[in-house]
């Protein structure tokens, strides 16, 4: 029997609780092929002849068990390019919120960020407003925030190392700031990074951002420009993000992953990872834990 699609089930690697009985019962219910364990107790996959009609209901029921369910076409699962958002995707924070906390305007900025990422506010206007609240902040605070407040999302290093070891290109595209993306990109091994510029004068933030602002459309533009340059197509791209400004690239890419994303973003994405970490992006491409590059 030919399997047109692959079902991947995965859980949080920090607390791997994927029950073999669950994998088998779903496989039997959907007429699936033999299960292949990608990582013991953590991730498994099996082929199916077609996408089942009750896939969405099963996805919802598995959320209560802290299990992610992803169904992708069997053909072309391994991608040649990673296009990633930074804030709350490759790192666990929103850089602007961390800068605002240092400036004493944390709660106000965090509220605007949350609404903008959920698509309730215009991204560009919300960014201009938030950056305005940082006016007068010492430029050295950026380095301080990077050192003391920014942590990588679990699994990011393995994701980058493994995809790059298999010939993929990696680009970091952020509605945040180049002073942060440059460091994160260098730390994790991205090939290039794009973001906004915080303008400074006499060692202090002016409260203005360089124009044009890199928002939703610029992320789509990055996908178009980089694939054209590398001779790739949209289908070769794995994109990952969590906010409304990521939706353009997530829906364009061959595989668009909503990672621990806002509800409005999840509603528009087929691939949603709510329990796994960034290594989930390797499992959905068929990599096993043993395939991970150091």
Catalytic residues: 85, 87
Residue carrying the six token digits 């203005």: 208
Number of H helices, E strands in the chain: 12, 12
From residue 223, give the alpha-carbon distance in Å to each of 18, 53, 232, 251.
34, 32, 10, 11
**CA proximity to 235, closest of 51, 76, 4:** 76
End-to-end CA distance of the chain: 36
**CA proximity to 265, closest of 124, 123, 168, 77:** 123
Coil vs helix vs strand at 42? coil
| Distance, CA of 269 to CA of 292 (rounded, Å) | 26
**Residue 44, H or E segment:** strand 43-48
Degrees, nearest 5: CA angle 209-263-129: 20
Whether the upstream peptide bond of residue 153 has omega within 30° of 0, thus cis, is no
**CA proximity to 206, closest of 140, 105, 143, 137:** 137
Task: Please enumerate in sequence order all residues whose Cβ is within 8 A of that of 143, keeping only pairs 6 or more positions apart, or say none.
Answer: none
């Amino acid at each position: 029997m030919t399997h047109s699609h692959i079902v991947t089930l995965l859980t949080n690697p920090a607390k791997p609780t994927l029950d073999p009985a669950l994998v088998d019962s779903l496989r039997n219910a959907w007429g699936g092929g033999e299960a292949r364990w990608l990582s013991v107790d953590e991730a498994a996959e099996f082929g199916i002849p077609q996408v089942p009609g009750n896939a969405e209901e099963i996805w919802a029921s598995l959320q209560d068990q802290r299990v992610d369910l992803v169904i992708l076409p069997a053909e072309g699962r391994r991608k040649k390019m990673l296009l990633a958002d930074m804030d709350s995707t490759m790192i666990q924070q929103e850089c602007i919120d961390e800068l605002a906390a240092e400036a004493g305007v944390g709660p106000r900025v965090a509220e605007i960020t949350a609404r903008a990422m959920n698509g309730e506010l215009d991204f560009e206007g919300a960014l201009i407003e938030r950056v305005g609240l940082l006016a007068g902040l010492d430029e050295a605070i950026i380095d301080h925030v990077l050192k003391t407040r920014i942590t990588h999302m679990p699994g990011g290093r393995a994701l980058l190392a493994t995809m790059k070891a298999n010939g993929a290109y990696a680009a970091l595209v952020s509605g945040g700031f180049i002073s942060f993306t440059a460091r994160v990109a260098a730390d994790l091994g991205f090939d290039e990074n794009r973001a906004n510029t915080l303008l400074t004068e006499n060692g202090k933030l002016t409260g203005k951002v360089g124009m044009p602002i890199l928002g939703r459309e610029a992320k789509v533009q990055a996908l178009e420009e980089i694939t054209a340059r590398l001779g790739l197509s949209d289908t070769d791209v794995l994109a990952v993000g969590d906010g409304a400004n990521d939706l353009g690239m997530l829906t364009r890419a061959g595989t668009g992953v909503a990672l621990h994303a806002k509800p409005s973003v999840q509603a528009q994405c087929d691939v949603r990872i709510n329990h796994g970490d960034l290594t989930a992006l390797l499992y959905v491409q068929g990599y096993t834990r043993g395939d991970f590059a150091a």
